Amino acid sequence: MFDGLKDKLNSFREDVAESTEEAPGSEEAPEGEGAPEDEEQTADASGRSAADDAAGGAADETAGAPTVDASETTSVDDASDESTEPSTFQRAKAFATGRIIIEEEDLEEPLWDLEMALLESDVEMSVAERILETVRETMLGESRKQVETTGELVERALHDALLDVIAVGQFDFEERVAEAEKPLTIVFTGVNGVGKTTTIAKLSEWLEARGYSSVLANGDTYRAGANEQIAEHAERLDRELIAHDQGGDPAAVIYDGVEYAEANDVDVVLGDTAGRLHTSDDLMAQLEKIDRVVDPDMTLFVDEAVAGQDAVNRAKEFNEAAEIDGAVLTKADADSSGGAAISVAYVTGKPVLFLGTGQGYDDLERFDPEELVDRLLGEE
């Protein structure tokens, strides 16, 4: 899962390490600046060190000249340069002690490659820009401290940048279910064919495994075969199904589901809705009516992880048209790019809550931002 993006992130780490390893070694400290303070001076055959010779020569040349305080010897070039960039001597000294100082030029090409890699992985543009900005700030800010290894710094920078965008709006779903007044009503929405109905069945099984009962309510009253599809899931899982005839009022179906749950002490109502585009006024009006009549506790947007940028755009559009509380991405096991998983939360401000990872009812994985970042960076 997301192996393509994982490979691209590993390439970025290697590129930065190469650029920083080459930079200090290709430069020599300017004459007169000498070796790093902690390095021992090398004596020649006569017993005088190179530093002694340099000091003697300097003394001969400056004999009779007024004494000048060291703090006043800044050159014109130095005085006019207000940059915080490390000097050649600082870099040489860092290199001699086995440490690295990272500069903007070291990151320029690797960051460009990382941006292209993110966009090729269907990461939304604003999300990619945010990741690059965080990586740059972290690495350049820490570089002044001469970090022990470039690899550790790159690892931390990428970890923080990815977590920053992936964890937006995240909440503990199981805790919210536990604390909610029962019955808890969850409505599912999204376009046709992305796996809403199957996701409802999977979440019903997920809840059952944690001790919560559920009833299914088919608010998809317009699609031919919708009742039969969800009825098959209900039968396999031994769940009660509330359904009306095709063409009925979706809000009335889900409302009946809530009433059934209240009368039978069922913990959660899982309401399906017709697949729709955000531009479908009639179907969006149905969602608004469901909100008025049922007042669901959560509305979850469902789309395919493999849809990449399309899924991200649809999540944003659905959230703007009828506010969602979170998202479920199906077919995550078949997604190499990872763009939707990276981008949805940051773009909508609402978290990804679950990943569909297979065809079985048990193939629903709670979305954990930290775990995903560790997976992408190869930490597990």
The per-residue pLDDT for 51 is 46
The per-residue pLDDT for 362 is 95
Task: Among 166, 191, 207, give the residue marking a domain's end.
Answer: 166
Q: Above 80 in pLDDT, residue 259?
A: yes
- pLDDT bracket for residue 142 (50, 70, 90): low
Instruction: State percent of the chain over pLDDT 90.
Output: 40
Residue 340 lies in a domain: yes
Q: Clarify whether residues 184 and 127 are in a common domain.
A: no
The per-residue pLDDT for 8 is 74
Instruction: State percent of the chain over pLDDT 70.
Output: 71
Q: Above 70 in pLDDT, residue 37?
A: no
Q: Clarify whether residues 127 and 224 are in a common domain.
A: no
Total domains present in the chain: 2
Q: Above 70 in pLDDT, residue 36?
A: no
The per-residue pLDDT for 27 is 42
Q: Which residues contact 189 (CB under 8 A, 6 or more apart)?
A: 196, 273, 276, 287, 299, 300, 301, 302, 318, 322, 324
Q: Clarify whether residues 222 and 255 are in a common domain.
A: yes
Mean pLDDT, range 110-123, rounded to an integer: 86
The per-residue pLDDT for 68 is 42
Task: Among 166, 186, 219, give the residue marking a domain's end.
Answer: 166
Q: Which residue has the higher pLDDT, 11 or 244?
A: 244
Q: pLDDT tens across 316-367, in order?
A: 988 888 789 999 999 998 877 788 889 999 999 999 999 999 989 999 999 9
Q: Above 60 in pLDDT, residue 34?
A: no
Q: Clarify whether residues 118 and 135 are in a common domain.
A: yes
Mean pLDDT, range 213-223, rounded to an integer: 91
Element (H, E) at 269: strand 268-273
Q: Clarify whether residues 3 and 122 are in a common domain.
A: yes
Q: What is the C-alpha R_g of the chain?
A: 31
Q: Clarify whether residues 195 and 241 are in a common domain.
A: yes
pTM: 0.74
AA identity, residue 114: L
Mean pLDDT, range 265-282, rounded to an integer: 82
Q: Clarify whether residues 224 and 324 are in a common domain.
A: yes
- Reference 8, options 135, 116, 97, 108; nearest CA is 116
The per-residue pLDDT for 41 is 43
Q: Is 286 left (phi over 0), alpha (psi -120 to 50) or beta?
A: alpha
CB 271 within 8 A of CB 188: yes
Residue 350 lies in a domain: yes
The per-residue pLDDT for 300 is 96
Residue 48 lies in a domain: no
Q: pLDDT tens across 56-109, in order?
A: 444 444 444 444 444 444 444 444 444 445 555 555 545 544 455 667 776 778
Q: Clarify whether residues 252 and 185 are in a common domain.
A: yes
Q: Which residue has the higher pLDDT, 79 or 295?
A: 295
CATH number of the domain encompassing residue 146: 1.20.120.140
Q: End-to-end distance of the chain based on CA atoms, in angstroms? A: 13
Q: Above 70 in pLDDT, residue 294?
A: yes
Residue 65 lies in a domain: no
Q: Clarify whether residues 8 and 132 are in a common domain.
A: yes
Q: Clarify whether residues 343 and 200 are in a common domain.
A: yes
Q: Above 90 in pLDDT, residue 214?
A: yes
- pLDDT bracket for residue 377 (50, 70, 90): confident
Task: Among 110, 142, 166, give the residue marking a domain's end.
Answer: 166
Q: Which residues contact 129 (CB under 8 A, 6 or more apart)?
A: 115
Q: Above 70 in pLDDT, residue 23?
A: no
Phi, psi of 307 (to 5 degrees): -75, -15
Mean pLDDT, range 187-211, rounded to an integer: 94
Q: Which burial class, exposed, middle or buried, applies to 21 when counting CB atoms under 10 A from its CB (0-12, 13-18, 19+)?
A: middle
The per-residue pLDDT for 278 is 58
CB 252 within 8 A of CB 244: yes
Residue 50 lies in a domain: no
Residues facing 185 on adjacent strands? 269
Q: Clarify whether residues 240 and 337 are in a common domain.
A: yes
CATH number of the domain encompassing residue 359: 3.40.50.300
- pLDDT bracket for residue 279 (50, 70, 90): low
Average per-residue pLDDT for the chain: 78
Q: pLDDT tens across 143-198, in order?
A: 555 555 667 777 888 889 999 999 999 999 999 999 999 999 999 999 888 999 99
Residue 309's domain spans which residues?
173-366
Q: Above 70 in pLDDT, residue 49?
A: no
Q: Clarify whether residues 187 and 230 are in a common domain.
A: yes
Q: Which residue has the higher pLDDT, 291 or 285?
A: 291
Mean pLDDT, range 28-51, rounded to an integer: 44
Angstrom distances, CA of residue 199 to CA of 185, 302, 324: 15, 8, 16
Q: Above 90 in pLDDT, residue 201?
A: yes
Give the Cα separation of 362 and 368 in Å (integer): 17
